[in-house]
Amino acid sequence: MKTIHFFNEEKTISRKRQTWQYSLSLPQKRELQEKFIMASPTDVRKGKVMNYQGTPHLVLDVQHRTQGRQAGFMQVTMRNLNTGSSTNTKIRTTDTVEILHTDNRKLEFSYKDSDGYHFIDPESFEDTLLDETMVSDAIDFLVENASYSILFVDDAPISIDLPASVEMKVIESPEGIRGDTASNVQKPAVLETGLKIQVPLFIKEGEVIKVSTADRAYMSRA
């Protein structure tokens, strides 16, 4: 299947679609339709995944711009789901973009081995493997048996979406200094994933706490 990224003329799109119609069998046409949607740039929204230069990119932000009497364009900020790098590009509203089929699935983190990070579907028990590049920003928050949202593009796992907070057990933390009653005084703590953060003096080893995934800060007891 020939991948199409952007087309500048509607006639080109029509010719391509006609070629598909005559050269593909009915099952192939259905499979093609399920894999992606040819859409107008004005249909691009934050959270969508589009094929940009042959690679899936997650749309982070979209701004509609105008240029006087000329055709407008979409200013799109997106992240390469293979490399993690971000890019900002202009797409004319007269172009066509390829939006990929995506699916978010709730899977439970099971274990890590030399192959990567294993996540299990709690209903089918199917094992999904993510390599380290896909979970690099989430490693410190992967707790065994905890549930995470995994983004699939064309039925292949691409990335992990962390919740706003994760509950983790404190495995190491020194006792607070006796007599120190200041409410804002904190001490270091090591959590079950190896993450090191600052916690209030009253937190003890063995307690489970909530940690913000945005800034890696203590929030409260679980």
pTM: 0.67
Integer Cα distance of 111 and 79 in angstroms: 27
Phi-psi region of 54 (alpha: psi -120 to 50; beta: other; left: phi over 0): left
Q: How many other C-beta atoms lie within 10 A of the C-beta of residue 168? A: 23
In sign, the C-alpha dihedral spanning 187, 190, 191, 195 is: positive
User: DSSP state, 201?
Assistant: T
> Residue 93's pLDDT is what?
81
> Residue 64's pLDDT is what?
85
> Residue 119's pLDDT is what?
98
Alpha-carbon distance values, 130 to 106, 160, 163 (Å): 14, 9, 18
> Residue 96's pLDDT is what?
83
User: DSSP state, 139?
Assistant: G
Domains within the chain, CATH numbers bracketed: 10-100 (2.30.30.30), 107-161 (2.40.50.140), 165-221 (2.40.50.140)
> Residue 165's pLDDT is what?
96
> Residue 181's pLDDT is what?
55
Kindly give the confidence (pLDDT) of every residue in the chain, 222 residues in length, as a single tens digit, with 9 standing for 90 and above: 333 333 333 333 333 333 333 333 455 444 444 455 676 777 788 888 888 888 889 898 988 887 767 778 889 999 888 787 899 998 888 888 888 888 899 999 999 999 999 999 999 999 999 998 889 889 999 999 999 999 898 788 988 989 999 999 999 999 876 555 556 789 999 999 999 999 999 999 999 999 999 999 999 999
> Residue 177's pLDDT is what?
63
Instruction: Give the end-to-end CA distance of the chain in Å, rounded to a whole number.
Output: 50
Q: Which residues of 125-163 are buried (b: 16+ CB within 10 A; e: fewer)?
A: eeebebeeebbeebebbbbeeeebebbbbeeebbbbebe
> Residue 10's pLDDT is what?
32
